[in-house]
Structure 1
Amino acid sequence: MINLFQPQVGAEELAAVAETFDDKWLGHGPRTRAFEAAFAEHIEVPAEHVIFVNSGTSGLFLALESMDLQEGDEVVLPSLSFVAAANAVLSCGARPVFCDVDPRTLNPTVEDIEQALTPRTKAVIVLHYGGSPGDIVRIADRCRELGLTLIEDAACSVASRVDGRAAGSFGDIAMWSFDAMKVMVTGDGGMIYLKDPQRAARTRRLAYHGLAQPSGFGYAQVSSRWWELDIPEPGRRVIGNDLTAAIGAVQLRRLPEFVRRRQEICALYDRELGEVPGLLLPPALPEGHESTHYFYWVQTAPEIRDDLAGDLYKQGIYTTFRYAPLHKVPAFGSQALQLPHSDWAAERTLCLPLHPGLSDGDVHTVAAAVRKVVENRHATDAPVAP
């Protein structure tokens, strides 16, 4: 099977894990702090504002918890987002309000967000679809003007930038995911960045039981009664550990090579599929934008898209559509909402395999299969975005 995603791990990661085993310290410790510092340097923010957690989802939940939202408060986010974002909003007693997206980039514009704002809006969550930063500069400016907290779901955009500035550093809070399907992996894991120093310090406590300071071995150096607890408010245990941080540190060093290969694969798809009638490819990035190239998506007529996915699967090629529109999910209570661009994209978009483990031959195989299915279905005209 040619997989959609595939982690790139090997001898360097194994060596880092072995060193951690040799040190006999697998939990939260020096490697965690070193990984946080290295990631902070990568996105050019202070290290004390970055916290390694056990998943990007935990980062989303912590982000919303840090805001002290009340019942009736609203958080605007694109419908084409990962389900964890809406779950995090609901878990805090607030209401997710879904906005539309550009049908080709699948990123929200500032105008899409403005149409969903109400007097009850407290925050905006933006996903950088497929690693493309989208309209983040204008969105960040508008949120500052309105006094709204901007949360960047940067799970897809660990190496994305606009004019040299890292995705995730434009808003007030951001999180990244390092699960087994992401561009850089730690097995499970994530990072959260909080611009405000007090909010960052509080979130670090909330990520570890709400403790104002450790109560174990490390604290014995500064207190004669290190077992005593100081808990200003309750928290959970969602911190990362040295075992996964050791893998993450290696992956972060290898990140440039991962992104280069992803960029090469996207360029090869562009060449192979650019002349296929009835097929749209991802739009070109605006000047100054750099993408992590997490997704490569094509768009075709709805009556062809599902058959295309099924035929490719029969040929040993796994594809999917990410992310299914959340305004269609009954649990979020928004089925009556009309988001025509999101609906248009959800019916026509398919994500093709994209990871550095693909050979050029694999890409040619996928492209040839896509071309054959689309041409056999006689799709002569590319779909026209509304």
Structure 2
Amino acid sequence: MINLFQPEISEDSSKLLHDVFKSKWLGRGLYVDKFEDQFALSLKVNRSNIHTIASCSDAIFGVFNIFNFKEGSEVLVPSISFPAIASAILAAKLKPRIVDIDIETGNISLDQLDKFLSKKTVALFVTHYGGIPVDIKKIRDIVGPNVMILEDAACAFGTYNDGVACGTEGDFGCWSFDSMKLLTCGEGGGFYFKNKELLIKAKEFFYLGLPAQAKSGIDRQATESRWWEYQLNSPGRRSVFTNINAAIGLPQFENLNNTLARRSEIRNFYSNVLDKLNVNYLRQDDKNVSYANYFFTLIDRRRDELASYLKEQGVYTTFRYYPLHAIKIFSNFSEECKSANLFSETALNIPIHQALNDKEINKIGSLLENFFAT
């Protein structure tokens, strides 16, 4: 089976993992520091604005503890979103307002925002669908300076809009390093806060509420007689990105440009095939954007039939994400979402990961030609 997602882990990761095991410290440490240095460099942001934790979902749930919005406040979110976002909004005792999408991008419809804005609106949580960037500057113009802009960039690591990395234009951004992502660490996540004081608050929240600059017991035992005593700045939980995660991911930074170039090459191949067949797909033709190409999304009314045909021929495809407004526990927070309905009935994500070889890409191309020729 040709996978939709597939990690590409080098021998260098195995060597670093061996070094981590020899060090006898598997938790957060030196390798995590190196990973965060490289991550900040890739995002073109200050190192003090980012932090890594156990998962992107943790960041999504935790961000509402950091902003501490008033109970009952409203957060706007596109219907085509990762379900954890709506769940996190409800868990924080806030009200999600589900907004329709722009069917040309899969992203939130900017034309719909005015209709949903109210005095209760405190934040907007956008998703950069498959690495296609939302126009954050336009959103800021629409929502004003007081509404927080939160960015789900889990699938957009490697996308830059006018040289700015997705996830770093708003007030908060988050990324995933799970086994399906462009940069994989097996598991893990990272987040960005524009406000560095909020970043410190988040670091403390995700490590039990301990002061961000607190020394470990091992460090304190050299100078303190009761090094096991401590105080907390606030209630918190524990979400840790480890040296093991970092060792898997670190070597991938060196190959990032090649990874992005390979995905772009595959996209161009699919685009040429589908253009000849007159089949629609999500366009990525903004000259000011460098795209991550996390998804390649074709659009066709025979989507279900195509997915079954490809599966029978050994190619796995899917559609992400099932609309929030169609999920029963969220449906009361939505008005009609015509574009999201149409998108969810016609869109299909096909393999575009960098581990695909030419034989596999040509096979997919031939299958698409055979299907649409009938």
Aligned pair in 2 of structure 1 residues 257, 222: CA closer, same or farther (>3 Å)?
Answer: farther
1:29-64 CA-to-partner distances (Å, cap 9, x unmatched) read 111122112211221222122111111111111212
* 2:218 aligned partner: 217
Tell me what 1:233 maps to: 234
Q: CA deviation at 1:224?
A: 4.2
2:228 aligned counterpart, secondary structure: coil
Secondary structure of the corresponding residue to residue 75 of structure 2: strand
Could you tell me how far apart the structure 1 residues matched to 2:256 and 2:221 are?
37
Residue 113 of structure 1: CA displacement? 2.7
Q: CA deviation at 1:221?
A: 5.1
Work out the CA distance in 2 between the residues paired with 1:287 and 1:72.
41
Shift in Å at residue 162 of structure 1?
1.1
User: Which residue of 2 is the match for residue 263 of structure 1?
Assistant: 264
Q: CA deviation at 1:344?
A: 1.1
Judged with a 3 Å threshold, the aligned counterparts in structure 2 of structure 1 residues 372 and 57 are, in CA distance, closer, same or farther, namely same
Deviation at 1:156, TM superposition (A): 1.0
1: CA distance, partners of 2:232 / 2:269: 54
Are 1:316 and 2:317 matched, yes or no? no
| Letter aligned with residue 160 of structure 2 | R
Q: Which residue of 2 aligns with 1:95?
A: 95
Quick one: distance in 2 between partners of 1:221 and 1:267?
A: 59
- Is the CA contact (8 Å cut-off) linking 1:99 and 1:115 kept in structure 2? no
Which residue matches 2:123?
123
1:383 match: none
Q: Measured at CA, do residues 42 and 140 of structure 1 come closer, stay the same or move farther in structure 2, by a change above 3 Å?
A: farther
Secondary structure of residue in 1 paired with 2:123? strand
Q: Partner amino acid for 1:64? A: F
The equivalent residue for 2:331 is: 333
- SS where residue 154 of structure 2 aligns? coil
The answer on whether the counterparts of 1:56 and 1:176 sit within 8 Å (CA) in structure 2 is yes
Q: Is the 8 A contact 2:97 2:334 kept in 1?
A: no
The question of whether the paired residues in 2 share the 8 Å contact of 1:177 and 1:189 is answered with yes
Q: Structure 2 unaligned runs (5+)?
A: none
Give the secondary-structure state (helix, strand or coil) at the position aligned to 2:356.
coil
Deviations 1:79-126 (A, max 9, x none): 101111111111111111111111021112432333322221111111
3-state SS, counterpart of residue 281 of structure 2: coil
Closer/same/farther in 2, CA of residues 267 and 219 from structure 1, 3 Å limit: farther
Q: 1:252 deviation in Å?
A: 2.2
Q: If the length of structure 1 is used for normalisation, what is the TM-score?
A: 0.92
The answer (yes or no) to whether the contact 2:10–2:251 under 8 Å persists in 1 is: no
Counterpart CA distance in 2 for 1:335 and 1:48 is 36
TM superposition shift of 1:215: 4.7
RMSD: 1.6
Matches within 5 A, 1:153-164: 153-164=152-163
The alignment status of 1:283 with 2:309, answered yes or no, reads no
Evaluate the alpha carbon distance shift between residue 4 and residue 142 of structure 1 in structure 2; reply closer, same or farther with a 3 A threshold: same
Matched, 1:105 2:105: yes
SS in 1 for 2:280: coil
1:111 match: secondary structure: helix
**Residue type at the aligned position of 1:268:** F
Percentage identity across aligned positions?
Answer: 33
Deviations 1:132-158 (A, max 9, x none): 113223123444x24111111111111
Determine helix, strand or coil for the equivalent of 1:70: coil
How many angstroms apart in 1 are the aligned matches of 2:270 and 2:100?
27
Note if contact 1:215-1:228 (Cα within 8 Å) is conserved in structure 2. Answer: no
Q: Does the 8 A contact of 2:96 with 2:333 survive in 1?
A: no
Is the alpha carbon distance of 1:94 and 1:218 closer, same or farther for their aligned partners in structure 2, counting shifts above 3 Å? farther
Shift of the 202–221 alpha-carbon distance from structure 1 to 2, 3 Å rule, reads farther
Tell me which amino acid in the other structure corresponds to 1:282. L
1:7 counterpart letter in structure 2: P
SS at match of 1:330: coil
> CA–CA distance in 1 between the matches of 2:222 and 2:39?
27
Structure 1 residue aligned with 2:202: 203
CA separation in 2, counterparts of 1:148 and 1:222?
46
How far does residue 226 in structure 1 lie from its aligned partner after superposition?
A: 2.4
CA contact (8 A) 1:215 1:229 kept: no
Structure 1: runs of 5+ lacking an equivalent = 377-386
Q: Which residue of 2 aligns with 1:380?
A: none
Task: Quote the Cα distance in structure 1 between the aligned partners of 2:357 and 2:274.
Answer: 17
SS at match of 1:171: coil
1:313 Cα shift? 0.6
CA distance, structure 2, for counterparts of residue 185 and residue 131 of structure 1: 16
Contact 2:132 2:284 in 1 (8 A): no
2:243 alignment counterpart: 242
SS of 1:66's equivalent in the other structure is helix
Q: 2:366: which partner in 1?
A: 368
Aligned to 1:384: none
* TM-score (ref. length: structure 2): 0.95
> Of the candidates 345, 361, 383, which is equivalent to residue 343 of structure 2?
345
In 1, distance between residues paired with 2:333 and 2:46? 42
C-alpha contact 2:124 2:150 (8 A) present in aligned 1: yes
Which residue identity lines up with residue 365 of structure 2 in the other structure? A
Q: How far apart are residue 315 of structure 1 and its match?
A: 0.8
After superposition, the C-alpha distances for 1:172-205 in whole angstroms (9 at most, x for unaligned) are 1110000000001000001011111111101000
Which residue of the partner structure matches residue 165 of structure 2?
166
The runs of at least 4 consecutive aligned structure 1 residues that moved more than 4 Å come to: 221-224
Alignment size in residue pairs: 372
* AA in 1 matched with 2:246: A
- Equivalent residues in 2 for 1:185-204 (5 A)? 185-204=184-203
What is the alpha-carbon distance in structure 2 between the residues aligned to residue 176 and residue 158 of structure 1?
A: 7
Residue pairs, 1:297-312, within 5 angstroms: 297-301=297-301, 304-312=302-310
Q: Which moved more, 1:30-39 or 1:133-142?
A: 133-142
Distance 1:56 1:332 in 2: 21
- Residues 104 and 283 in structure 1, CA contact (< 8 A), matched pair in contact too: yes
* Greater mean deviation of Cα atoms: 79-88 or 282-291: 282-291
